[in-house]
Amino acid sequence: MSKHYFGTDGIRGTVGEGPITPDFMLKLGWACGRVFARNAKTEGHCTVIIGKDTRISGYMFESALEAGLVAAGVDVKLLGPMPTPAVALMTRSHAAEAGIVISASHNPFQDNGIKFFSAEGTKLADDIEHAIEAEIDKPLTTVSSADIGKVLRVKDAAGRYTEYCKSTVPRNFSLRGLRIAVDCAHGATYHIAPAVLGELGAEVIAMGVEPDGFNINEGVGSTDMSALSRLVVESKADVGIAYGGDGDRVLFVDHNGDIVDGDELLYVIACDRLRRGASDAGVVGTQMSNLGLERALTDEGLQFVRAQVGDRYVKELMEKNGWSLGGEASGHIICSYVTTTGDGIVASLQVLASMRSAGMDLASLRGGMKKYPQTMINVRVSGKVILSEHPDLEPAVQAIEKQMGSRGRVLLRPSGTEPLVRVMIEGEDAGEVESLCKKLAGQVEKILS
Q: What is the per-residue pLDDT for 408? A: 87
Q: What is the per-residue pLDDT for 192? A: 98
Residue 120 main-chain phi, psi, to 5 deg? -90, 0
Closest CA to 181 of 233, 106, 245, 247: 233
Q: What is the per-residue pLDDT for 1? A: 63
Query: 11-156: which CATH number, 3.40.640.10, 3.40.50.720, 3.90.420.10, 3.40.120.10?
Result: 3.40.120.10
Contact between 262 and 331 under an 8 Å Cβ cutoff? The reply is: yes
Distance CA 232, CA 223 (A): 17
* 212: CB partners within 8 A, 6+ apart: 186
222 is known as an active-site residue: no
Q: What is the per-residue pLDDT for 309? A: 86
DSSP code for 155: T
| Tens-digit pLDDT string for the chain (449 aa) | 678 899 878 999 999 999 999 999 999 999 999 999 998 877 778 999 999 999 999 999 999 999 999 999 999 999 999 999 999 999 999 999 999 999 999 999 999 999 999 999 998 988 999 999 999 999 999 999 999 999 999 999 999 999 999 999 999 999 999 999 999 999 999 999 999 999 999 999 999 999 999 999 999 999 999 999 999 999 999 999 999 999 999 999 999 999 999 999 999 999 999 999 999 999 999 998 999 999 999 999 999 999 998 888 999 999 999 999 999 999 999 999 999 999 999 999 999 999 999 999 999 999 999 999 999 999 999 888 889 899 999 999 999 999 988 888 899 988 876 789 999 999 989 999 999 999 999 999 999 98
**From 57, 103, 105, 289, active-site residue:** 105
Q: What is the per-residue pLDDT for 197? A: 98
Kindly list the domain boundaries of the chain, sorted by start residue: 11-156, 165-368, 374-448
What would the pLDDT profile of 317-352 be if each residue is shown by its tens digit?
999 999 999 999 999 999 999 999 999 999 999 999
- Three-state secondary structure call for residue 147: helix
Torsion of CA 361, 175, 315, 370, to 10 degrees: 0
Q: What is the pTM of this model?
A: 0.91
Query: 165-368: which CATH number, 3.50.30.30, 3.40.120.10, 1.10.10.10, 2.60.40.10?
Result: 3.40.120.10
Q: What is the per-residue pLDDT for 45? A: 87
- The reply to whether 374-448 shares the fold of 165-368 is no
Distance CA 71, CA 148 (A): 6
CB atoms within 10 A of CB 81: 24
The CATH number of the domain covering residues in 374-448: 3.30.310.50
HEC secondary structure over 62-91: HHHHHHHHHHCCCEEEEEEECCHHHHHHHH
Distance CA 26, CA 65 (A): 5
